[in-house]
Amino acid sequence: MIEGPRLNRAARDPAAPLKGAHVVVGVTGGIAAYKAAELVRLLDKAGAHVDVAMTGRAQKFIGAMTFQALTRRPVFTNLFDLTEEATIGHIQVADRADLVIIAPATANSIARMAAGQADDPVSAIVLATRAPVLLAPSMNVNMWSHPITEANILRLIDVAGYHVVGPGDGFLACRWTGPGRLAEPADIVEAAAHVLSNQDLAGVRMVVTAGPTYEAIDPVRFVGNRSSGKMGVAIASAAQRRGARVTLVLGPSALPPPVGVTTMSVENATQLQWALGDAVKDADVVVMTAAVADFRPAKEAKQKLKRGEIGPTASIALVQNPDLLAELGKARGSRRTPLLVGFAAETDDVIGNAEKKLVTKKCDLVVANDVSEPGSGFAVDTNRVTLVDTSGAIEVPAGTKYEVAHRILDHVVAMRAAAAAPPAKAPREPKPKAKSKKR
């Protein structure tokens, strides 16, 4: 039997998949290199066998001795050092790795990896390994948002299937504030555990809609709702982490689109409908998290309406937007693909309303939440949902939207597996007992 971290799926400890795993931490030359020591300590504590490789520049920020002490193993600092290579070469380390983490991944190291260079121990291991690679970028905010860095990251994700954690938003060593800060070591460990255990959506084409829609009254005003897009973005990013190829159709939202996810930005329900039409063509799963405005103004004024023109009391004529989920359910007919997941934002009779939506919108699963409950629903970082399908209702424990996203995806994976399974054979009728012949 094959023993290994990837089989350890049922474990409750989130770091459990790391136990016994061979993890290479590649440290490249940025100020956040010192945080790699804490990362290595946490990985070691989680039971991983950690090998550290460093670029020459990384060694200017932190000494190899620190990592050697933490891992009790030699550290790879020089690709061309015969003594280092004689004990165990970088190719062997790359071969036996279950996971390679690059932390920090600087703009320069990302560019070099995207170009397939391999002239230092870190890039050589990255190129030689067949294990998943997790990048934890850290750099100046302008470097991070530079189109070249963005293109390099996308290339590593799209072409090589690398995973990315962070960067976080915060005060950077260069005194700028914004995205660029190395993800917290504990978050990198969590992401590493996910990469090792959770590739159950590998190759699945998933479309996720998120955020509100804004239906313009005039160039300044709109009819909309309180959705922030957080739940949908969390689903898109969790699915991407689990190997899905995700297209996110995102309504007006302050959130940055998740790295590695193809994002289409839309403003209103009509645009969302167009974007969906294209995106769902070859989708395996569609998750409609978007809070689509049910109505739009019958007429959009091209110029800003003046207060005087509107008068002391105003009424705006509204027309109904199409129910996009119901349209998808109808178009699908008797085919069961794509698997359709809807949301139900409710303030009363949450389960009853969700059950109705399951039927009227002809979808496979409705994620119901009580948006009036504190810590649940719009704009907050946590959620409490109930999963409603034809077999009943399952309450998901309250958690961060990212945690809840994973629980929803667990259910999607289970539903896909059940749909793919051959129909259970009807139990065989017991054979009539043969009459015993008398001799």
Residues with catalytic function: 174
208 contacts ligand CTP (rule: CB under 6 A): no
Interface with ligand CTP includes 228 (CB under 6 A)? no
Q: Which residues contact 288 (CB under 8 A, 6 or more apart)?
A: 209, 324, 325, 328, 340, 341, 342, 343, 363
Token pair of 52, please? 């550290």
Which candidate, 355, 354, 326, places its Cα nearest to that of 340?
326
Strand ranges (E), 142-292: 163-164, 168-171, 177-181, 205-210, 215-216, 222-223, 245-250, 262-265, 285-288
Looking at beta carbons only, is 78 or 321 nearer to ligand CTP? 321
Q: Which of 23, 62, 345, 388 binds ligand CTP (CB under 6 A)?
A: 345
Position 325 contacts ligand CTP (CB under 6 A): yes
User: What are the respective helix, strand and coil percentages of the chain, to the nearest 5?
Assistant: 35, 20, 40
Size of the site for ligand CTP (CB under 6 A): 15
Residues 93 and 52: beta-carbon distance below 8 Å: no
Nearer to ligand CTP, 118 or 216 (CB): 216
Query: Judged by CB, which is closer to ligand CTP: 145, or 273?
Result: 273
Does the protein bind ligand CTP through residue 369 (CB under 6 A)?
no
* Shortest CB 342 distance to ligand CTP, Å: 4
Our CB check for ligand CTP shows the closer of 20 and 252 to be 252
Alpha-carbon distances of 394 from 55, 343, 372, 391, rounded to whole Å: 49, 14, 19, 9
Stretch that binds ligand CTP, among 132-140, 144-152, 159-167, 339-347 (CB under 6 A): 339-347
> What's the min distance (Å) between Cβ of 346 and ligand CTP?
7
Q: Pick one of 323, 355, 364, 370: the residue that binds ligand CTP (CB under 6 A).
A: 323
Determine the Cα–Cα distance for residues 79 and 260; give it in Å rounded to an integer. Answer: 31
Q: Which stretch binds ligand CTP (CB under 6 A): 125-133, 216-224, 320-328, 403-411?
A: 320-328
Q: How far is the CB of 182 from ligand CTP (least distance, A)?
A: 35
Question: E strands along 28-132, which residues?
Answer: 49-54, 99-105
Which stretch, 7-15, 184-192, 238-246, 322-330, contacts ligand CTP (CB under 6 A)? 322-330
Burial of 105 (0-12, 13-18, 19+ CB in 10 A): buried
For ligand CTP, the closer CB: 134 or 249: 249
Query: How far is the C-alpha of 230 from the C-alpha of 293, rounded, in Å?
Result: 17
Q: Is 321 in the site for ligand CTP (CB under 6 A)?
A: yes
Residues 383 and 408: beta-carbon distance below 8 Å: no
Q: Find the part of the chain contacting ligand CTP (CB under 6 A) among 160-168, 318-326, 390-398, 414-422.
A: 318-326
Cis peptide before 5 (omega within 30 of 0): no
Instruction: Return the amino acid letter for 413.
Output: V
Closer residue to ligand CTP (CB): 102 or 345? 345
Question: CB atoms < 10 A from the CB of 342, how many?
Answer: 27
344 binds ligand CTP (CB under 6 A): yes
- The answer to whether 120 contacts ligand CTP (rule: CB under 6 A) is no
Member of 35, 181, 241, 357 binding ligand CTP (CB under 6 A): 357
278-307 binders of ligand CTP (CB under 6 A) = 288, 290-292, 294
Q: Please, which residues bridge with residue 366 across strands?
A: 342, 388
* 112 torsion bin: left (phi>0), alpha (psi -120 to 50), beta (else): alpha
Rank residues 99 and 345 by Cβ distance to ligand CTP and give the closer one: 345
Give strand pairing partners of 295.
320
Q: Least distance (Å) from ligand CTP to the CB of residue 203?
A: 25
Least distance in angstroms from the C-beta of 410 to ligand CTP:
19
Q: Among residues 235 and 345, whose Cβ is nearest to ligand CTP?
A: 345
Place of tokens 């990013």: 237
Provide the minimum distance between the beta carbon of 288 and ligand CTP in the complex, in angstroms, as a whole number.
4
The helix or strand, by DSSP H or E, that contains position 253, with its residue range, turns out to be none
Enumerate binding residues for ligand CTP (CB under 6 A).
Answer: 288, 290-292, 294, 321, 323-325, 342-345, 357, 361
